[in-house]
């Protein structure tokens, strides 16, 4: 090669001499092209007359004629080679016409090789001279014959365009626009890379155009808007990548900002409906704030042309379809603003609504008020502390009054806006007169005035002057005075308050009356209830409802607070009070859950909605606290996030100082670093030995902590208390770096109070009577809160949210126990002969859906807080902890599951010790490639002896904090797939006949049958008598051991994110969640027994009523018969129904049930079925579970949610969405014929075939939470390489990576046959991996 380089000095003169023939030039070029890849810059520069490269090579590219041969190709190749070695020469080449020459030869399309060489040379030159290349028309040129070049050259062409339009000057935009038609066509490419690149180029062109209407109109004429909307429609926005979606939204935003034509096109194409779908979707997911922001910005740009184009404004206003779309936009913005976790989002929405109001007609705004209730929205925002939000809300209020004064004055009066403005004005005056408040007012609040102004500078001054809010509120208040007294709004707070108080007075009287005593009074109350709950409540504003005290009146009535305090030491009184509260719940449940003929909505739904709207007015009671750390988007809602990698967290530096008047304690020297999760009690344990003499170290709650004279709450972390006190008055708190560096002073003094709280005393007394209460309802936490008349824990009862939370907790419990309440009421009516037949004892009301108690605002705030990087190590505001534990129903299931995953590590019960000599254990290699490997335990099990292997494994590693991975002896599979199958198989094996674990196990079966216990209502433990240690060859000790294994398996499944194949009953899940069971739970797992026992209970109640009643009955034997049969004639003995070997009393098989002993019989059946008969099994299950992590941490979920967590999604997949959630690779794409057949086969599968397919591809028979979309990694189908006949091959699978290796079968029928065979053969082994 040195010989070749030696020729370079001779090549240059040959090229420079124009008189030499074409053959000499051609030979010189060939030598140059061979030498250039091996040359280096200094060598080229040293060549004599080297400048002839930049003058002669462009000319040779342009050479024409038959004798030129391959010269243009070689010249273009040489230019590329030189620029690659010496990029600084690109400018010289450009000045000597190289760009024009290369462009023209490429456009001539003499041959494909020449076009490719020209394209490469232009790519290298444009990297150094992008602006010059753009001015020479390169952007349009490289795209002109785009479809005729190979894919690689297509991508090179797009890179050239991207480079030269990236930062083009405004003057060069017309040249960039020349490429727009070709780029628009490429948006429809099936190649995702090409589509993304074309979209990126268009976005840059639109952005660089700086809102020039002529350019944006041109893009609109090129159908960019139509193409973009086609990409988004039919849920396309869900399937395209985030980068592409961001690009499309940005493109539409830029075009809309200046083109009235584009805005009109978007309205014609239904953009508002699309935005509604997207905002609704992203609002509900609570983790897509960036996308919501983009959508809001797009809406802002859609509105701008309406302000400047009178013709567009008139066109919009004149068409009802457009107005309806704008109305839906306002409704969406209201939804986003009310539920936005941050004030900045809320502020942006208000500004946009204000812009819409400015261009709207009075008639439209009146209609909008009736559909979207702008006034109620304004009232909600005026209650917030963020001054920017208040200011913009006042501006919007003023605009509405200016548009239609009389109408909006009345609306403001009704919805409380007028009242709020009065309060704001008074508050602002007070701030100005109070020096401290004035200083706080003047503290710089994070300015969001320019959130929607992309041209604004960070140094721009905030628009809100010191007295801006006061002056604006004063102007609005002055406008109120012009309304004539005769025209003032008729809505008055006092009227509704009086009606509500009168209603509850009537209810109080009603609770003392039975239906048979005063039928007229009952009918009157029903009518009053209908008027309040179904008529008045829907039309009552949130403001009036909140200020009337209706929530407190309702909770006071239901809790019977008038009789709360006396006789708390009297156990009999407590029992009577519990029955009274229960009776009130029954009465109100009937009124609130019965649907009237005129309405399809239950009163309880309306009431809960009002309570939640009122709660959202207390926005600032639930502050989000964010640190300076970057927020992290937590996508996973599957595997508990206990290996996040956060080890070193921030610490607070606290200087603890003795309070000024503290005499007994000593001072603490130095600064103490404390974790951000530390509460005062934890710090006290460290401080106490250092500040107190030995003789004074007795007692509890010995210290009180204060910051600047304000006592710190014991329920909050010291970190949170400091942050909230330092940022008092702020609803959004962001902690900067200086906070962590500062040393904070906290004083301490001795707490000499020895008073036991009345709440603790009441709780102790309530616990003492629990054993006397038969129904589970009366032992539920919500009933305990009602009984005590307050929410549990250390909570501020003066906070506006308190009564709303308390009432919501009561109503959620009432809704959850509506079946028990109604059934108990029916039994009472039967006992009192209001119902004649046992068949009439049936529930006629149903609860409202649980999700209606969910607060979208609180869910959004919790989701945002969980994105905080320090959340896992303790940056959790106390309101999050308190509400998740006390009122979990306020949060969506997804938010609670994520919270559980992020906080579960605090509940680990075990350590990482294990037996190092275990023969079945495989230790990870010491040079593991990633940190996660060091947090994994591997264990081998025997498939044929799986339960014994599982018991052994759980005994050794069940309590380990490490993730357990399982491999099967003698099988190839390892990792996630076999582990998932292990959990699925063990849980399935625990359902075999002959284990004595479940009800139905003692049912007759054919000899030698080894089937599984099945129940349509879920599995529930089989009762075992304490007098029996074995039955039918089954040892009870083995049963207990199996329940212990089940506890371990369930806990590990939750901890490691595994799926179980076991159908547990709702009642069993209630036991897991720490709930009590009663007689009304039996029908949930054994309907036949449950119905009979409940009917027997009704007979017992009737017998007692008749015995205590002064009235005589004409035929007592008929009244106390069981469906016209004497009880004695039923020939029942004292054995457990369905289990004759279980004697309820000693000698029970010989003791017959009579009317007099029926009560005892019912009690013993319930006790055996739900308590004593299953106590040891449940104890074993719970103790094993608690060895892994605390079972009580699951109490934030309900029974249905627990089934989803443990057993995955029972709805396998939506056929229409299959292609959206499966990836195709390594020889396949979505349009490959084998894939088309494959998807059709999957859509045709029945339920059992779906289960088999999921088991085959993932190792578990059901999909995890979130279904197919949440599989991680994604289910991927790849082409299987076959050596022989394709149709003879079987599909194979890698369950760890969710890879299906599918041969390209010749027909759909053969594929279906082979796939079904693989599903059958692949189950129970890992030989098809």
Quote the CA–CA distance of 854 and 612 in Å, as a whole number.
8
Q: Which two tokens stand for residue 567?
A: 């006789």
For residue 674, the SS3 value is: strand
**Residue for token pair 């009287």:** 509
- Dihedral, 1004, 1009, 1010, 1011 alpha carbons, nearest 10: -60
C-alpha dihedral (725, 731, 735, 740), degrees to nearest 10:
20
Q: What percent of the chain is helix, strand and coil (3-state, nearest 5)?
A: 60, 5, 35
Helix axes 22-35, 8-16, angle to 10 degrees: 140
Structure-block tokens of residue 401: 């009054």
Phi-psi region of 591 (alpha: psi -120 to 50; beta: other; left: phi over 0): alpha
Q: Residue 1174, exposed/middle/buried by CB under 10 A (0-12, 13-18, 19+)? A: buried
- By the 10 Å C-beta count (0-12 exposed, 13-18 middle, 19+ buried), 962 is classed as buried
How far, in Å, CA of 501 to CA of 1200, rounded?
38
- Alpha carbon distance 166, 208 (integer Å): 8
The torsion angles phi and psi of 383, rounded to 5 degrees, stand at -85, -5
In this structure, how many other beta carbons lie within 10 angstroms of the beta carbon of residue 322?
A: 18
**DSSP bridge partners of 1189:** 908
**3-state SS, residue 382:** helix
User: How many residues are recorded in the chain?
Assistant: 1329
DSSP letter for 935, please.
Answer: G
1293 φ, ψ (degrees, to nearest 5): -145, 150
Contact of 1100 with 1162, CB cutoff 8 Å: yes
Q: Is 1265 helix (H, G, I), strand (E, B) or coil?
A: coil
Please say whether the dihedral angle defined by the alpha carbons of residues 199, 201, 206 and 207, taken in this order, is positive or negative: positive
Note if 349 is an active site residue.
Answer: no
604 and 811 Cβ atoms separated by less than 8 Å: yes
3-state secondary structure of 1031: strand
- Beta bridge pairs of residue 938: 922, 965
Non-local (6+) Cβ contacts of 786 within 8 A are 555, 558, 559, 581, 585, 810, 813
- Alpha helices for 817-962 (secondary structure H): 818-831, 856-866, 878-886, 893-903, 946-957
Residue-by-residue DSSP string for 137-192: THHHHHHHTGGGS-HHHHHHHHHHHHHHHTT--GGGHHHHHTTHHHHHHHTT-S-H
SS3 617: coil
Active-site choice (168, 184, 339, 1296):
1296
Q: What is the C-alpha separation between 284 and 853, in angstroms, rounded?
A: 15
Tokens of 1278: 């790849």
**Catalytic residue numbers?**
1296
């Amino acid at each position: 090669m040195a010989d070749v380089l030696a020729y370079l000095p001779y090549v240059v003169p040959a090229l420079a001499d124009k008189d030499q023939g074409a053959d000499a030039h051609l030979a010189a070029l060939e030598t140059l092209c061979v030498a250039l890849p091996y040359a280096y810059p200094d060598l080229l520069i040293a060549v004599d007359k080297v400048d002839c490269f930049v003058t002669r090579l462009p000319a040779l590219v342009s050479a024409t004629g038959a004798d030129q041969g391959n010269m243009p190709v070689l010249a273009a190749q040489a230019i590329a080679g030189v620029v690659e070695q010496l990029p600084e020469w690109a400018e010289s080449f450009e000045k000597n016409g190289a760009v024009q020459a290369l462009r023209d030869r490429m456009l001539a399309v003499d041959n494909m090789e020449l076009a490719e060489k020209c394209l490469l040379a232009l790519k290298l030159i444009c990297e150094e001279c992008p602006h010059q290349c753009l001015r020479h028309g390169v952007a349009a040129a490289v795209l002109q014959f785009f479809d005729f070049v190979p894919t690689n050259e297509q991508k090179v062409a797009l890179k050239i365009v991207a480079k030269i339009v990236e930062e083009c000057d405004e003057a060069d935009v017309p040249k960039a626009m020349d490429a727009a038609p070709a780029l628009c066509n490429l948006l429809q490419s099936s190649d995702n890379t090409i589509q993304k690149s074309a979209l990126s180029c268009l976005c840059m062109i639109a952005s660089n155009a700086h809102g020039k209407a002529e350019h944006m109109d041109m893009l609109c004429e090129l159908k960019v808007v139509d193409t973009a909307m086609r990409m988004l429609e039919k849920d396309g926005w869900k399937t395209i990548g985030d980068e592409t979606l961001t690009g499309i939204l940005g493109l539409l935003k830029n075009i809309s900002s200046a083109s009235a034509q584009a805005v009109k096109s978007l309205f014609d194409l239904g953009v508002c409906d699309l935005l509604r779908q997207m905002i609704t979707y992203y609002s509900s997911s609570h983790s897509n704030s960036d996308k919501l922001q983009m959508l809001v910005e797009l809406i802002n740009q859609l509105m701008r042309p309406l302000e400047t184009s009178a013709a567009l404004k008139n066109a919009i206003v004149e068409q009802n379809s457009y107005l309806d779309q704008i109305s839906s936009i306002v409704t969406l913005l209201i939804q986003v603003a009310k539920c936005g976790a941050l004030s900045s989002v809320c502020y942006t929405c208000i500004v946009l609504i204000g812009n819409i109001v400015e261009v709207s007609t009075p008639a439209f705004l009146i209609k909008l008020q009736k559909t979207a209730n702008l006034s109620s929205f304004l009232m909600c925002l005026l209650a917030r502390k963020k001054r920017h939000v208040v200011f913009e809300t006042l501006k919007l209020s003023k605009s509405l009054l200016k548009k239609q004064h009389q109408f909006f004055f009345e609306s403001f009066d009704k919805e409380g806006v007028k009242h709020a403005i009065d309060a704001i004005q008074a508050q602002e005056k007070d701030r100005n007169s109070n020096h401290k408040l004035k200083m706080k007012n003047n503290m710089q609040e994070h300015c969001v005035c320019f959130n929607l102004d992309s041209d604004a500078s960070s140094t721009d001054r905030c628009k809100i002057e010191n007295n801006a809010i006061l002056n604006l509120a004063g102007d609005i208040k002055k406008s109120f005075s012009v309304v004539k007294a005769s025209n003032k709004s008729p809505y008055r707070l006092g009227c509704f308050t009086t009606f509500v108080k009168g209603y509850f007075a009537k209810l109080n009287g009603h609770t003392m009356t039975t239906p048979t005593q005063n039928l007229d009074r009952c009918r009157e109350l029903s009518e009053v209830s209908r008027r309040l709950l179904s008529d008045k409540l829907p039309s009552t504003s949130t403001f009036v409802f909140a200020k009337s005290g209706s929530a407190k009146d309702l909770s006071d009535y239901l809790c019977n607070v008038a009789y709360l305090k006396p006789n708390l030491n009297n156990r009999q009184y407590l029992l009577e009070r519990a029955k009274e509260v229960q009776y009130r719940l029954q009465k109100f449940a009937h009124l609130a859950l019965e649907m009237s003929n005129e309405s399809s909505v239950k009163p309880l739904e309306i009431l809960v909605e009002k309570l939640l709207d009122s709660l959202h007015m207390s926005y600032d009671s639930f502050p989000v606290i964010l640190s300076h750390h970057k927020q992290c988007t937590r996508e996973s809602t599957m595997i508990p996030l206990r290996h996040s990698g956060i080890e070193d967290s921030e610490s607070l530096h606290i200087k603890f100082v003795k309070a000024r008047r503290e005499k007994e304690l000593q001072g603490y020297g130095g600064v103490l670093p404390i974790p951000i999760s530390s509460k005062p009690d934890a710090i006290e344990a460290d401080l106490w030995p250092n500040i107190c003499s030995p003789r004074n170290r007795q007692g509890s709650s010995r210290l009180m902590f204060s910051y600047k004279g304000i006592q710190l709450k014991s329920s909050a972390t010291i970190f949170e208390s400091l942050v909230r006190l330092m940022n008092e008055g702020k609803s959004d708190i962001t902690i900067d770096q200086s906070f962590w560096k500062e040393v904070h002073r906290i004083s301490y003094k001795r707490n000499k109070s020895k008073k036991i709280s009345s709440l603790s005393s009441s709780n102790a007394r309530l616990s003492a009577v629990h054993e006397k209460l038969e129904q589970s309802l009366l032992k539920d936490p919500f009933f305990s809160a009602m009984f005590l008349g307050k929410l549990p824990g250390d909570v501020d009862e003066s906070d506006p949210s308190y009564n709303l939370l308390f009432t919501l907790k009561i109503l959620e419990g009432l809704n959850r126990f509506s079946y028990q309440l109604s059934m108990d009421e029916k039994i009472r009516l039967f006992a009192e002969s209001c119902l004649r037949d046992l068949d009439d004892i049936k529930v006629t009301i149903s609860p409202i859906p649980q999700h209606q108690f969910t607060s979208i605002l609180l869910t959004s705030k919790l989701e945002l807080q969980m994105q905080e990087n320090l959340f896992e190590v303790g940056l959790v505001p106390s309101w999050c902890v308190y509400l998740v534990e006390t009122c979990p129903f306020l949060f969506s299931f997804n938010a609670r599951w994520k919270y559980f995953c992020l906080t579960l590590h605090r509940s680990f019960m075990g350590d990482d010790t294990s037996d190092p000599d275990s023969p079945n254990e495989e230790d990870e290699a010491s040079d593991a490639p990633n940190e996660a490997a060091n947090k994994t335990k591997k264990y081998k099990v025997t498939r044929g002896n799986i339960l014994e292997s599982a018991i052994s494994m759980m005994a050794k590693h069940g309590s380990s904090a490490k993730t357990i991975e399982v491999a099967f002896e003698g099988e190839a599979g390892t990792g996630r797939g076999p582990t998932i199958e292990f959990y699925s198989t063990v849980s399935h094996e625990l359902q075999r006949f002959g284990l004595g674990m479940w009800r139905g196990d003692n049912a007759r079966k054919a000899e030698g049958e080894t089937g599984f216990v099945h129940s349509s209502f879920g599995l529930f433990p089989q009762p075992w008598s304490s007098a029996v240690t074995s039955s039918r060859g089954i040892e009870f000790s083995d049963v207990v051991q199996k329940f212990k294994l089940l506890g371990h398996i369930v806990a590990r499944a939750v901890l490691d994110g595994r799926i179980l194949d076991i159908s547990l009953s709702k009642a069993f899940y209630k036991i897991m969640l720490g709930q009590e069971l009663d007689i009304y739970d039996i029908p949930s797992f054994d309907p036949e027994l449950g119905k009979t026992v409940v009917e027997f209970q009704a007979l017992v109640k009737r017998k007692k009523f008749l015995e205590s009643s002064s009235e005589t009955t004409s035929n007592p034997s008929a009244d106390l018969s069981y469906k016209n049969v004497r009880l004695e004639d039923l020939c029942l003995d004292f054995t457990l129904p369905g289990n004759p070997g279980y004697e309820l009393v000693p000698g029970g098989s010989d003791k017959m049930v009579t009317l007099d002993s029926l009560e005892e019989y019912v009690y013993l059946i319930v006790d055996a079925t739900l308590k004593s008969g299953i106590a040891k099994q449940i104890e074993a299950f719970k103790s094993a579970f608690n060895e892994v992590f605390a079972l009580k941490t699951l109490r934030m979920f309900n029974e249905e949610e627990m089934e989803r967590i443990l057993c995955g999604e029972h709805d396998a997949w939506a056929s229409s969405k299959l292609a959206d959630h499966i990836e195709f690779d390594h020889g396949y794409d979505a349009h490959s014929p084998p894939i088309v057949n494959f998807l059709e086969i999957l859509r045709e599968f029945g339920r059992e075939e779906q289960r088999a397919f999921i088991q085959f591809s993932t190792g578990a028979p059901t999909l995890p939470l979130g279904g197919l979309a949440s599989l991680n990694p994604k289910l991927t189908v790849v082409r299987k390489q076959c050596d022989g006949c394709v149709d003879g091959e079987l599909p194979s699978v890698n369950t760890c990576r969710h890879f299906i290796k599918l041969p390209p079968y010749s027909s759909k029928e053969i594929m279906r046959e082979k796939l079904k065979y693989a599903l059958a053969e692949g189950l129970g082994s890992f030989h098809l991996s």
